[in-house]
Amino acid sequence: MTCKDCHVELMINVDLPGYPKGKKIKVTSNNGIPTSKYWRDRIKDSEIDGCVSIVEKKAAKSIKPSGVDS
C-alpha cells in the first residue's frame, strides 16, 4: 500500500534538541498533519518564532510525449 501523504518534510530553522539548524527531516503525517504532538507544537510555535518551516513539494513537470502534436 502506498501513502501519498504519509510524510511531511520540515526544515529546522533554529537549533532544537537533536536537530541542528539547517537540517531537513521527514516526519510521519496523516493527510499532511504530523502525527507527533512534538512536531505539531513546533509548527504552531513557528508562527511566532520561525523555528521550523514546512518544505513545499515542487509540482511535477508535465512531459509532452515526443511525436505528439498539440
Predicted local confidence at residue 60, as pLDDT = 53
> Which strands make up the sheet holding 24-30, listed edge to edge?
33-34, 24-30, 7-12, 52-54
- Mean pLDDT for 40-52 is 95
Alpha-helical segments (H) within the chain: 37-49
In the chain, % of residues over pLDDT 70: 74
Alpha-helical segments (H) within 1-68: 37-49
Count Cβ atoms below 10 Å from residue 57 Cβ, excluding itself: 10
The answer on pLDDT for 12 being more than 70 is yes
HSE-CB at 58 with a 13 A cutoff on CA atoms is: 3
| Close Cβ partners of 14 (under 8 Å, ≥ 6 residues apart) | 21, 49, 50, 51
Domain parsing of the chain, residue ranges: 7-54
pTM: 0.72
- Mean pLDDT for 29-36 is 91
